[in-house]
Structure 1
């Protein structure tokens, strides 16, 4: 697995590289002193993991993640400050390591990374495998690419032969039918609301009665309002009832 280290302190980068030598299957293919340097490296090398410092000159690790729209691997934050731990997991980081980094703690992170990569590989090799909230998918729309964990996808919308995925502030198109998408997604998490929409049940903010015995749900995030057809409303109630 390929790794890139982003840290403004050269000694910190060297120490992390030294620790990673204990994991022969992890290859450090690049390092950067700030987020400006790493952007081009990601597109060129497409690593499996990014070890990302938080406090750096210019953009912080968080600020960069909020604006970066290109290829993004798994992110493991490395920082001397424990105050950012909650925010790190809010942006779906794989892990959060405090400096000075302990070898046993780094080993735990590598194990998480291995499990994540193995899950992605199984999903690719087994088309019948249902993708759950913790699985990650590769999305390409034009020149932009993302690795997206499905717990970030709140809505799938049919657009003819394409499906538009809604996650964060992004709305890329995927060349796949909504029926094919439904076949791949875990029905305990992703619910077919109507002919055009699949919703992530974890993003439902509000439910209201709607016309002809149907329901209308409002999703967290951007507040999209999606109608659940009368027929699907029966399934919806059965699925979520005690």
Structure 2
């Protein structure tokens, strides 16, 4: 694969370049850039397969790269110092990232993940979701794999998520239920705690904003669009405290 490294610190560029060589990842480093403006020029001229892109740089942050392209025919692996908010944004946007100082095993994992793609899906929307999330400091959208595609979903439209084996079924206000390869634990860890989601049962996660009827005797919760979710007896007390 052909790659470009973008980082405003020369030492960081050299460290990553040397690490890539030592890991024998079969990556040809075409250029090393110290700012996003130079990187955009090099990307357009050299046509890399992947760009290792630092998040925090002068003038333009790495995630603003989406503003410079109408179409992106290359992949990006973001490199960032530890920032819990930024990392959550990357995960919601389904975009790969490395945390400084870069762990050798994590680098190999990210590159292998890239190499194993059967078909590259270049979607400017993925990066726009990331850009909007970080700029507005608010989690509004999530990108999910769905039967070979990627669906952008507004988080506030999710009514409930139901476990379906190792998959999950997502009920929203806007579309018919969609099935994704992510399990329920993934969503429990991913969705921010302050946006009204509650794990009511081992097979259900609900959006408290859409509750219509609570039935304690049958341990069920009726949500918008007549969706009936379960609530476990052990979670009921915590649920009552949450909705007070």
Q: TM-score w.r.t. structure 2 length?
A: 0.49
Q: TM-score w.r.t. structure 1 length?
A: 0.50
